[in-house]
Amino acid sequence: MGVLSPAQSSLRRLCLIVAVVASLILAIGAPAASAVADPVVMAAGDIACGSPGSTSPGACSQAYTANLLLSQKNSAEGLAAVLPLGDNQYPSGALSDFQTYFDPTWGQLHSIMHPVLGNHEYDTAGAPGYFDYFAGVGVGTGNRGEGWYSFDLGNWHLIALNSSNGCSPVSCATGSPQETWLRSDLAANTKPCVLAYWHHPLSYAPAEKPIWQDLYDARTDLVLVGHHHGYDPPVAHDASGAPDPAGPREVVVGTGGADGGVYGVLKLTLHAKSFDWTFVGTGATDSGSAVCHGPALPPPPPPPPPSPTASFTATTSGLTASFSDTSTGAPTSWSWRFGDGSTSTAQSPSHAYAQGGTFTVTLTATNAGGSGTATRQVTVVAPPPSPLGTGPVVPPASPVALPGVGNVLAAPAALNLTLPAPTGPYPVGVRSAFVTDGARIDPATHRPRALPIRVWYPARTGPPAAPASYLSPAIQQVAETTLGLPARSLDVVTHASDRAPARSRIRGIVLVSPDAGMLAALNTSLIVDLASRGYAVVAIDHPHDSAAVEQPDGTVVPADSDLARRIPSAFSQRVRDVGVVLGQLSRLVPQRSRTTRIAIVGHSLGGAVAAQAMLSYPRLAAGIDLDGSPRGRVLSAGLGRPFALMLESRARALPAFARFIARLRGPHPIATLAVQRYGYTDLALFNATAALADPALGSRLEQALPSGTVADLAAGRRAVDRERRFLASFMGRYIAGP
């Protein structure tokens, strides 16, 4: 090599310096890919109260949980997304409340926020406050009125769904717009890990099963929910709720600040093929890691369904037989032959025979895999001959009368009085008990005041148990005599089984207090429907102001003859009765847990008692008054907890109601019913049935019950159906647990 000139040597040194500097710049300015942090996501539901709250953990601590989010955002890890899991603003998701309470706290994170709706947003029809608020701060929520959408974050696909109020009004059913969109979205996903989130746990809203099955089939890894005000760690299960390691891991995070004793957020670190979780806050400690399931495998072809095994039970009342299908193997159609030439394709029909005798009844149950047949003998007995024309029926020596009910002549034959079947998913059991109050001595028995109680509850599915009676024999005789009904007319199918094994979990407890001079049993159509929906219902009869009560020794204590004058005293005694029953709930309802909420429902005087009991006993989380004029201290004090009313249309303008409603500070839905006093009970069906069987008897019953019921059976069924739906909606919103 030749010797470099001075100019060449200088140029070479300059090139070396430039190369070294460039290397340093690249080393400093371009960190290795492994140094990029995986995204961190935080989530919680049930967040902001309708008050400023505090920055310390406790009720209405949305500021406290928001500070946990901000702390993570400002940390070295950062915060990629915030997932509000519904019920984001209490009590009804109004736009003004979102702007006043949610926005200064969680709203500080709006640039990375991806929310879903809860049932409280739907307390205002269509959830306009939710959609208006998030649109106003530039946060995507999916299409207005739908609320579902998806997005990608790192190696993860995130899916926001809308369980609205337990999948009503926004449906989760197979073939619904939301479920159809979900299947398409999952099919188009290319990410190896999937996270879905919405408001209600699957155990609370079984209507979510179709979307859960879609997520299961797509090998979804995580599902985040709220609604239950607490924290439940990840549990993998299938669409029926059974543990299954191949299923999505459901995490309940209803801890965003509203109330419940646990306050905080779930922190997720989303790795390429796994994730870490930690609960950040107070009241719970949990953390862990898991590997993603990986891409979905093609489903195996479904096996042909087995043919069903047909079976049924039968109960009879006079010439009418009621049949209940108990077939297994998921039949899709049913064919009945009743043995007298008549047929039916209903699943569980009733049939009225023209004459008594023994008939061979055959059921054929069919599905796509074939059919099965079951046959049994059913005996029906013709009612006794009519007593009319043989002289008047002699009443008992000491008749017991319902207040305001006149003497009604006996009808010619036992009536086929029926109640509609319950609408919930569970069979119903019932057991009887007494609650005694040693502080009060009953003047009729000279013993501690004893309250007859019937507890109706969701039962386990199993072999049929003995059907539960509508009334005890002694009380049935009193009621039939008082109403002028033939003997055994109140042999009513209650759609419940006596002492059936109970389910281990209930959604809540509902106390029931009847009208003055009536019986709690006359609310059976409402009571059994609530029990079939998962609630334990404690029906109370009150000595001396219920029509008649049977005491532990068998003594029947009738209503006081001057009950109308004694209503103020009866009202006070009933409020005390409610307190005594509350004190013994652990014995009456063993399924009760620390978090089980309690409500009270009352009809007429019982409705007034429900309102005053809400004021007297803070343990009562909610209440309903069915057409009862409020009285007592609650008229001036009002109530701050949920309390609903169902009234005659004209009643709301009456001074007592107007004064009471003006002082209701909590949620207070009000509905009207186009019937009068006794139309709120089973008499809405019984009186109309009597009128169909014997117009003269129906007319006398309407005259004997001066407040009236309804003379048309279709109208009575509509009234009962509306009451059932109103009670179910209210309880589902304000006391239902998971």
Asked if residue 22 has pLDDT above 50, the reply is no
Beta bridge partners of 502: 459
Percent of the chain with pLDDT over 90: 61
- pLDDT on residue 298: 60
Does the pLDDT value for residue 615 go beyond 80? yes
In the prediction, which pLDDT does 489 show?
78
The whole-number average pLDDT for the span 184-191 is 94
Q: Of 244-248, 352-356, 433-437, 481-485, where does mean pLDDT reach its minimum?
A: 481-485
Confidence at residue 413, expressed as pLDDT on a 0 to 100 scale: 57
Contact between residue 530 and residue 537 where contact means Cβ atoms under 8 Å apart: yes
Give the least confident one: 11-15, 237-241, 592-596, 658-662. 11-15
Phi, psi of 565 (to 5 degrees): -75, -20
pLDDT in tens, 691-712: 555 555 555 555 555 444 544 5
- Give the whole-angstrom CA distance, residue 22 versus residue 498: 87
Task: Tell me the domains of the chain and their CATH numbers.
Answer: 36-291 (3.60.21.10), 310-382 (2.60.40.10), 400-677+728-734 (3.40.50.1820)
Q: What is the mean pLDDT of the chain?
A: 85
User: Which whole number is the average pLDDT over 200-210?
Assistant: 94
Distance CA(699)–CA(691), nearest Å, equals: 7
Span 653-663, average pLDDT: 82
Categorise residue 164: left if φ over 0, alpha if ψ from -120 to 50, beta otherwise. left
Q: What number of other Cβ atoms are within 10 A of residue 298's Cβ? A: 6
Per-residue pLDDT at 703: 53
Q: What is the pLDDT of residue 297?
A: 59
> Does position 658 have pLDDT exceeding 60, yes or no?
yes
Q: 172-181, 208-217, 488-497 — which is least confidently predicted?
A: 488-497
Q: Looking at the DSSP assignment, which residues form a beta bridge with residue 513?
A: 602
C-alpha 45/C-alpha 612 separation (Å) is 33
pTM of the shown model: 0.48
| CA 101 to centroid of chain Cα atoms | 28
State residue 13's pLDDT score: 55
Q: What is the pLDDT of residue 311?
A: 93
The DSSP-derived string for 678-696 is GGGSTHHHHHHHHHHH-HH
Asked if residue 345 lies in contact with residue 333, where contact means CB atoms within 8 angstroms, the answer is yes
Q: Is the peptide bond before 422 cis (omega within 30 degrees of 0)?
A: no
SS3 content of the chain, % helix, strand, coil (to 5): 30, 25, 45
Interval 375-390 mean pLDDT: 58
* Angstrom distance (rounded) from CA 285 to CA 283: 7
Confidence bin at 278 (pLDDT 50/70/90):
very high
Give me the amino acid identity at 656. A
Overall average pLDDT of the 310-334 stretch: 90
3-state secondary structure of 60: coil
**pLDDT confidence bin for 26, thresholds 50/70/90:** very low
Token pair of 190 as six digits: 């290319």
Tokens, residue 410: 């006996």
- Enumerate residues 6+ apart whose C-beta is below 8 A from 7: none
Place 19 in a pLDDT band, splitting at 50, 70 and 90: very low
pLDDT surpassing 90 at residue 363? yes
Segment 83-129, tens digit of pLDDT: 999 999 999 999 999 999 999 999 999 999 999 999 999 999 999 99
Report whether 346 contacts 315 (CB < 8 A): no
What is the pLDDT, as a whole number, of residue 399? Answer: 35
pLDDT tier for residue 535 given thresholds of 50, 70 and 90: very high
% pLDDT > 70, the chain: 85
Query: 22-26, 366-370, 562-566 — which is least confidently predicted?
Result: 22-26
Range with the poorest average pLDDT among 322-331, 548-557, 690-699: 690-699
Lowest mean pLDDT, pick from 120-124, 484-488, 731-735: 484-488
Residue 216's pLDDT is what? 96
pLDDT of residue 654: 73
**Cβ-contact 61, 54 below 8 angstroms:** yes
Q: Is the pLDDT of residue 208 over 90?
A: yes
Mean pLDDT along residues 286-291: 95
pLDDT, residue 688, reads 59
pLDDT at 384 over 70: no
271 close to 240: Cβ distance less than 8 angstroms: no
Q: Is 93 helix (H, G, I), strand (E, B) or coil?
A: coil
Check residue 381 and give its pLDDT: 77
- Residue predicted with more confidence, 11 or 703: 703
At 423, list the tokens. Answer: 């609408």
